[in-house]
Amino acid sequence: MCRMVGWVSPVPVTARALLGDAAIERLLALSTVHRHGWGVAWRADRGVSVERGTLPAGEDDAFARVVDELAVTSAMLHLRLGTPGYGRQLADTHPFTDGTWAMIHNGAVAPVSGVDRLLASKSTRHPRGSTDSERWFLALRDEIDSGPSVPDAVAAVIEHAYSVGLHASSWNSMLLGPDALHVVNHHDHALLPVDIELWPDLYPKELVCWPPYFDLRLRQRAGVSVAVSSGIVDDVTDWTLLPNRSVLRLPFDGAEMRMTVLDERSSRRSAGSTAASTRAG
């Protein structure tokens, strides 16, 4: 379980300038619970660059430097709350990348003993770490390389996972590709774990789950698009709640975003060029 931020901007921008001081403070607070490392990926001149650390973000000077000094036009930021049963090494820390694509994930695939089945038998990709998230990334890369769009790749891997006896609380992810940031929003609130602390002390304990953990929201302002996991932004008035079972494409060239909504079995159907969404109050 993790927290995610991703953005696309016409001009370079830092995370702090993009989100504001209050949201950065909430990220630091969240890192007291999501304490199993952090990472950032951004588009560079010749592909994707990644920086990661295994310390809690709030205890790592490198994280502070990244949020204050890394000014880029497209990036993803991740705080990790590692699923029990997986490693805590650098190789297990998001983002995962092959130099062309990078991915961050919030969720857990079960059973842990079967996550290697996410990769098709014909795959030539080999995980470096132990996590389900890396295998989800490699399986998506196999599909993307074979020609499908990202929504088709997402649907194909999820359907394959179901067919080999795997399920996930959430496939929520962000993928940074050669020409766009893709936001995958596909989860089951009923599978939220009840035995893991998800929120730090500043969140109201009298509520069962506040805010809804798997929700993803989008804000578009002055040509800048930013997507965030719940709990990072306290005032969501200007943020659009993204629909579940959807893939949002945010192109780098300023073209219109594209939302694809997936059906119950993850076979995709078009939802037009703008997000079918619910405005948060």
In 3D, which of 107, 84, 259 has the Cα closest to residue 168? 107
Q: What is the pTM of this model?
A: 0.92
CA gap 123, 113 in Å, rounded: 19
In 3D, which of 186, 253, 180 has the Cα closest to residue 216? 186
User: How many angstroms separate the Cα of 47 from the Cα of each of 44, 75, 108, 140, 177?
Assistant: 5, 12, 28, 18, 9
Widest pairwise Cα distance in the chain: 49
pLDDT at 206: 66
pLDDT at 195: 82
Assigned token pair, 137? 């990334």
Assigned token pair, 240? 């659009």
More confident residue, 122 or 216: 216
* pLDDT band at 273; cut points 50, 70, 90: very low
pLDDT tens digits for range 88-107: 999 999 999 999 999 999 99
Span 226-244, mean pLDDT? 94
Q: Angle 56-227-254 (CA atoms, 0-180°, nearest 5)?
A: 130
* pLDDT band at 263; cut points 50, 70, 90: confident
Domains present along the chain, CATH in parentheses: 2-279 (3.60.20.10)
The beta strands (E) that lie in 21-144 are given as 38-44, 47-53, 72-80, 96-97, 102-106, 109-110
Helices (H) and strands (E) in the chain, counts: 5, 17
Asked if residue 278 has pLDDT above 60, the reply is no
Percent of the chain with pLDDT over 70: 91
Question: Would you say 231 and 28 are in contact if contact means Cβ atoms under 8 Å apart?
Answer: no
Average model confidence (pLDDT) for the chain?
91
More confident residue, 211 or 204: 211
More confident residue, 269 or 126: 126
Asked if residue 207 has pLDDT above 70, the reply is no
